[in-house]
Amino acid sequence: MPGTKISQRMRALQLARDCAALGARIRTIHHLTGLRPRELLHLLFNSHAIPPCGRAPNSREWYHHANLLQRIEASIVIANFRRMRHLGFPAPEALVGAYRYYQSMYRPPARISFDRAFDLAAHTEGLWIAKAPSFRLASCSRCSSEFLDAFAGADTTARPCPFCQLLDRHARDPRLTASFPEPPPASEELIAHLMTVPGPVTDANGETPSNSSSLPPAET
């Protein structure tokens, strides 16, 4: 019964539950599902499960202060989100699938929260809360990686490729050296990881397979 009211309702409820499980704010779930905030509060939370509160992420401000590892992880989330979009997934399912894949690659705590991923995806595609894109996926001419970049006018990149920066800084930065006892994997290998996007799923979850991390978490 695809397209019927009950199917639409069930899809929205399933999506809401998936988003809440990933730590989404009510505001984020509301934008992704169309369900009213009051109903979401009633359905998803109780005195033992309190919704996340505080100021919602503002990625256009955050991006300019984000450190190298945050920019790498943001790039991975958005590159996977865009790939799932190109495969035909609706934006909410693509976001959930891309975020689950990101979580499967890194040990917690995640540097990129689900709310951050939502904000970045919105401002990359001009969706939900964003009227127009203010980020894009840029292609590095040196390592061919795709990375998140702010629009800087013309075809220029606002900031250098974080994957190349990681390789360049690995030997010089004690924090990175401590995080990566071995030299970090080549950017091409990281991108090959990203290419392992699951085929179209049979349900609406965008479920993705677990994968061991080739880029372990590092304290910054």
Positions touching Zn ion (CB under 5 A) are: 140, 142-143, 145, 161, 163-164
Q: Return the number of the residue (72 or 204) whose C-beta is nearest Zn ion.
A: 72
Q: Return the number of the residue (8 or 168) whose C-beta is nearest Zn ion.
A: 168
Rounded least distance, CB 3 to Zn ion, Å: 43
Rounded least distance, CB 170 to Zn ion, Å: 13
Q: Return the number of the residue (79 or 95) whose C-beta is nearest Zn ion.
A: 79
- Which string of DSSP letters, residue by residue, matches the chain? -TTSHHHHHHHHHHHHHHHHHTT--HHHHHHHH---HHHHHHHH--SSSPPP-SPPP-HHHHGGG--HHHHHHHHHHHHHHHHHHHTT--HHHHHHHHHHHHHHHSPSSPSS-HHHHHHHHHHHHT-TT-SS--EEEEE-TTT--EEEEEB-STT-BSS--HHHHHHHHTTT-HHHHHH-SSPPPPHHHHHHHHT-PPPPPSSSS--------SS-----
Rounded least distance, CB 165 to Zn ion, Å: 8
Q: Return the number of the residue (44 or 215) whose C-beta is nearest Zn ion.
A: 215
Strand partners, 175: none
Gyration radius (Cα) of the chain, Å: 18
Rounded least distance, CB 77 to Zn ion, Å: 18
Residue 24: closest CA among 33, 195, 149: 33
Q: Return the number of the residue (56 or 143) whose C-beta is nearest Zn ion.
A: 143
Rounded least distance, CB 140 to Zn ion, Å: 3
Q: Return the number of the residue (43 or 164) whose C-beta is nearest Zn ion.
A: 164
Sequence-ordered list of residues with C-beta below 8 angstroms from that of 180, at least 6 positions apart, any chain: 170, 216, 218
Rounded least distance, CB 9 to Zn ion, Å: 45
